Amino acid sequence: MKTYHLDLNDVDDFIPELANELGIKHSEHLGEYTLKVPNKNGEGEIRGINFPNGLGLYTYHCKFYENLRFKVSLPAIKPIRFLYCIEGAVDSYFNNNEDFTTIENHQFLIAAPKDGETHNLVFKKNTEIALCYLEIDRLKFQRYFSFDLNQLEPVFYKIFSDTKGKNRISKTGSFSLKTAETIKEIKNCEIDGFPRVNFIGAKSLEILSYMLSRFKREKQIFKNKTLRESDIQAVERVVEYINCNIAKVGTVNDLAKIAGINSNKLQESFQVIYGKTVNEYLRDIRLTKALNILTTGDKNVSEVVYELGLSSRSYFSKIFKAKYGISPRQILATQSGK
């Protein structure tokens, strides 16, 4: 099997590095990279484009004349990949055959290597391959959100929060007809130039939206052995309540009643999903909201403390500075000085 080692410093390096390994040239236009498979290796092409929001789209429409393996490593980035096999078959595993899986026609794979691991993709010889995958730089994608990550439902939090690659993900399933049709629209897109870039970007988000909706229904990723689905739903109820009632949240026991489970189980569930206690989660949500309010310059510190349901201004200032390295007063002074 022919193996290509692709040690990348940035997501945009994939096609240039692969072209270098193959000893050929690639093309680039408005951020979209194209590589034509050389005749000695096979036929077809591979395309890739990455967007400022951390989302990248890669499409393979090709056939290789020998078994090929791409060993992909992004040491500086901890990406997560949503792979969709439209035709043919692709093997995926990490390092030495860990979490080996094969996806075939109309199957998806969500893959995220742990820190220091390589993600291996294997293409079988003389097999027509139609593969589409989204590659997400989770840290950059978080910055794209117009809200704090803590506000995400637990089913999504685990997907996007692991920016340091502490956990490996490898989950498969079948994807919907909506996803397949959207991928086909991208393949058949005949728009040129900047409108094409915008079209692909919009369709990439559409694919991601379909997949996330499917995950929420099926709980493909989060069938955690230590939590029942009812426990995860209980946490989701509490998170939604906190976000809507930040000024009058109450005690952990109060939240446990809303969740429909006892307080110990609620604490255990929050530790499994968020890696923090209920009160730690609540504190972080309040501090994020406080920062957003203070940076508008519309309210003073006392008003922020009241709006967030806190009783001590001095305690608020202490924990705020501990997290952000600057006091609430300094934030307001910066805003008034603009």
Q: Which domain-ending residue is among 218, 247, 267?
A: 218
Position 181 in a domain: yes
Which band of pLDDT confidence, cut at 50, 70 and 90, is reported for residue 129?
A: very high
Position 307 in a domain: yes
Instruction: Phi first, then psi: give them for residue 326, nearest 5 degrees.
Output: -150, 145
| Residue type at position 147 | F
The domain tally of the chain equals 2
Which neighbouring-strand residues pair with 28?
A: 33
Q: Which domain-ending residue is among 187, 218, 249?
A: 218
Position 224 in a domain: no
Q: What is the chain's Cα-based Rg?
A: 23
What are the pLDDT digits (tens) for 43-68?
999 999 999 999 999 999 999 999 99
CATH of the domain at 330: 1.10.10.60
Query: Going by C-beta distance under 8 Å and a sequence separation of 6 or more, which residues neighbour residue 242?
Result: 249, 255, 281, 282, 285
- 197 shares its domain with 294: no
Instruction: Evaluate if residue 128 carries a pLDDT over 90.
Output: yes
Position 327 in a domain: yes
- 35 shares its domain with 75: yes
Which neighbouring-strand residues pair with 6?
A: 72
Average pLDDT, integer, range 173-191: 76
| Strand ranges inside 65-125, DSSP E | 68-73, 79-87, 89-94, 98-104, 107-112, 119-123
Domain that holds residue 11: 2-218
- 176 shares its domain with 257: no
Considering only 100-109, 190-199, 202-211, 226-235, which range has the smallest mean pLDDT? 226-235
Regarding predicted confidence, which is higher, 105 or 78? 78
- 196 shares its domain with 70: yes
Position 223 in a domain: no
Position 270 in a domain: yes
Q: How far is CA 278 from CA 226, 254, 285, 322, in A?
A: 17, 12, 11, 19
Q: Which domain-ending residue is among 174, 196, 218?
A: 218
Instruction: Evaluate if residue 225 carries a pLDDT over 70.
Output: no
- 162 shares its domain with 284: no
